[in-house]
Amino acid sequence: MPTVFVLNGPNLNLLGRREPDIYGRDSLEDIAARCREAGRRLGLDIAFRQTNSEGELVGWIQEAIEAAAALVVNAGAYTHTSVAVLDALRAFPGPIVEVHLSNPHRREAFRARSYVSLAADGVICGFGATGYLLALEAVAERLRDRREETEPEA
Ligand code: DQA
């Protein structure tokens, strides 16, 4: 079963309590549970993690090069600032989906710029926790397509 790292950046540990009008009332643990359930349905092994540290996030992306088939990333505020996260993502060979709970394009101008988007295959934003599930659907399809390309027909 392919492993998918679902990586969350700074302040996402506060979900449910942090600006609920923008980010919703689900906690990060609620979202993790929904991702694991989707993983069971889609045949994906989900490793769901959160960190407030840029260096740890970079380390996990590097770890994914060996340990994961695909990445789902909500880098929080590092989305808009981190060349280090972008460089690490560029070293990852598998599919990458960028997720945001809110729609950054409807918010402050500085949120419209995403370093993560420069490395991502696709972006899902503005659908709250559902965005993570849509991202896992997209990843499952990409991995299926890749398998079909590499496996000889039966
Ligand atoms: C966010 C959007 C970012 O602009 C913000 O810094 C976050 C959360 C989102 O999920 O909507 O921390 O990534």
Question: Does ligand 1 have an atom closer than 6 angstroms to the CB of 129?
Answer: no
Nearest CA to ligand 1 atom 9: 100
What's the CA-to-centroid distance between 6 and ligand 1, angstroms? 15
What amino acid occupies position 153?
A: E
DSSP summary character for residue 7? E
Question: Does ligand 1 have an atom closer than 6 angstroms to the CB of 124?
Answer: no
Question: Does ligand 1 have an atom closer than 6 angstroms to the CB of 39?
Answer: no
29-78 confidence digits (pLDDT tens): 999 999 999 999 999 999 999 999 999 999 999 999 999 999 999 999 99
Q: Is 80 annotated as catalytic?
A: no
Q: What is the pLDDT of residue 151?
A: 82
Q: What is the pTM of this model?
A: 0.95
Residue with tokens 């890749």: 146
Give me the CATH code for the 3-150 domain, please: 3.40.50.9100
Q: Is 105 annotated as catalytic?
A: no
CA distances to 46, 117, 127, 136, 144 from 140, in Å: 12, 19, 19, 6, 6
Query: What 3-state class would DSSP assign to 93?
Result: coil
The model's confidence at residue 153, banded by pLDDT at 50, 70 and 90, is low
77-104 confidence digits (pLDDT tens): 999 999 999 999 999 999 999 999 999 9
Residues 94, 68 contacting (CB under 8 angstroms): yes
Query: Per-residue pLDDT for 154 more than 80?
Result: no
Spatial separation of the C-alpha atoms in residues 56 and 63, rounded to whole Å: 10
| φ, ψ for residue 98, nearest 5 deg | -90, 135
Spatial separation of the C-alpha atoms in residues 55 and 85, rounded to whole Å: 9
What amino acid occupies position 21?
A: D
Question: Does ligand 1 have an atom closer than 6 angstroms to the CB of 100?
Answer: yes
